[in-house]
Structure 1
């Protein structure tokens, strides 16, 4: 049940201001730790600003969407939703300058496959990644425990897909809407976009599902207002109904505002990130390799070559190496 879940208790926030405050806090913590020789009045000449981190994460969310869409074998929707949850949660409490999203992204998807019981081996998984697959495997497996720790081991995710099915069954049973199945394409389109917003950190899965159903009905020029007020929530008080309606309105507004970041701007941010990222967490840096040599036998040492690894996103050329193309 979502109402008693760790998702509700620890990972559902009051508003977008709270999310922005958390992201800014960890941005500043990174700068404070690594910027001892930086002009305290102009730190963003060297380091990424919270806005730049946000744009970078939006770009990598698009990479994640395309990677999951083209994954072989076909990836269930629940895996995709769970991966997005993990990715968004991780970067509430970590900076992209500390952990590059190109590496955390793949780890989020791999962990989501396990948690959602989509049984693919690490070999099958990295077969979907361009470049050196041994290196990809090392990066993912080395980051897996870190990711679980940063999620506080709260790995069970309640996605909106099951509530959507419940709403469709209920509409078929208690509503006069003809052919409710025609709503599916609009629902799928809405949910694909909703994971590019912060809605999953702010609203219950059932609220997101209802927003998707109402959005799709609107696209089909159907009105389900009477179904919601006179059938679905007939026993709800006016206050509860008002809260629900406002939540649905805000979710639909978030989706409506989704825009792809300007690619040229993202390229500039990526180059800036290459200069200011934490080299201790960069698999291609000498510091990282030396640290691994100290903790592993030579035979067990992760791949340390210079070949590149990239998510196969059919045309997106972002590479998983320190220098972005």
Structure 2
């Protein structure tokens, strides 16, 4: 996990590292043609929104944990690499395919490809299967991801057992599921632990059902808070966790706000400019190195 400042620094470095590859062949004014880190972030957000819809429409119905793992891979990958180097769309599809294997959601490559609406089956298969081992390498083979769904079920069971609810806790499930999906769009899973994200999802569900006081009672049970003889340190810890939960909810929905049409259109224009420019500087680099071949992905895939 990282802080926001650390994330920004890492992404800026990935952006600079990619630019540095072409430093020997750049001409005056070329620097402005590269995507800025903010534009790369916007592109990843657009692909994340598309990735959510892909998971919703996937057949057979994909497990929520598979999607969580896929998005974790996606976000970790682009901490090390620029979207100018790898197509976010292609990486997202490779992440889904790898996540299905890791989570033992058994599906063949042919069954997976049926869910893709663009490209040809042969081309898509080649792209995904080529990226799969590279994706594992770039992740240092750290493929285990702790998703929040098991702890969500655990919290519900514990709340039902320890609290006098007078309320069907299952009513929060749909609201909490929506929260988990929104959490995948931004950087939440890089900033907070799965258990804290889960508590935020539970509280959000309770808020939507106007039962927010249940969360207060549950936190008091966890920290064994008693009005008359509680340790001040325990009270402080409980209040700190309650504040962190509220912070997560606010952060998730702030980062999940839809991209306005003007920003989207501006990015599309930049991507077209970048596609033309990237082909030009790649030709310069190949000419300078005397190598007419390139192993990089086509920028048309961005």
User: Shorter-chain TM-score category?
Assistant: 0.7 to 0.9
Distance in 1 separating the partners of 2:107 and 2:281: 30
- The equivalent residue for 1:271 is 272
Task: Show the counterpart of 1:154.
Answer: 142
**Range 145-154 or range 254-263, more displaced:** 254-263
8 Å CA contact 1:122–1:137 kept in 2: the answer is yes
Deviation at 1:256, TM superposition (A): 2.1
* 8 A contact 2:159–2:218 mirrored in 1: no
1:96 is displaced (CA, Å) by 0.3
- Aligned equivalent of 2:224, options 220, 224, 234: 234
Q: Does 1:244 align with 2:244?
A: no
The answer for the alignment partner of 2:185 in structure 1 is 196
Out of 206-215 and 168-177, give the one that drifted further: 168-177
Q: Which runs of 5+ in 1 are unaligned?
A: 1-11, 282-286, 293-319
Pairwise mapping of residues 20-169 of structure 1 onto structure 2 (< 5 A)?
A: 20-38=8-26, 43=31, 45-130=32-117, 131-169=119-157
Distance change >3 Å, CA 271–CA 72, structure 1 → 2: same
Q: Does 1:208 align with 2:197?
A: yes
Question: CA distance change for structure 1 residues 273 and 233 in 2, over 3 Å: closer, same or farther?
Answer: farther
TM-score (norm 2): 0.85
Q: Distance in 2 between matches of 1:150 and 1:162?
A: 27
Counterpart-to-counterpart distance in 2, 1:265 and 1:205:
35
| Richer in helix (by share) | 2
- Map Cα deviations across residues 233-292 of structure 1 (whole Å, 9 max, x no partner): 3278244334422321221111221222233133123213423558999xxxxx999557
How many residues end up aligned between the 2 structures?
280
Structure 1 residues 275 and 246: CA distance shift in structure 2, 3 A: farther
Which secondary structure state, in structure 2, belongs to the residue aligned with residue 224 of structure 1?
Answer: helix
Q: In the aligned structure 1, how far is the partner of 2:101 from the partner of 2:274?
A: 30
Q: What is the CA–CA distance in structure 2 between the aligned matches of 1:221 and 1:280, rounded to whole Å? A: 57
CA distance in structure 2 between the aligned counterparts of 1:164 and 1:267, rounded to whole angstroms = 38
Unaligned 5+ residue runs, structure 2?
A: 226-232, 283-289
Q: Is the alpha carbon distance of 1:230 and 1:36 closer, same or farther for their aligned partners in structure 2, counting shifts above 3 Å? A: same
Question: What's 1:182 paired with?
Answer: 171
**Structure of higher CA gyration radius:** 2
- Which sits farther off after the overlay, 79-88 or 250-259? 250-259
Cα distance change of structure 1 residues 176 and 67 upon mapping to structure 2, 3 Å threshold? same
Q: TM-score, normalised by structure 1?
A: 0.79
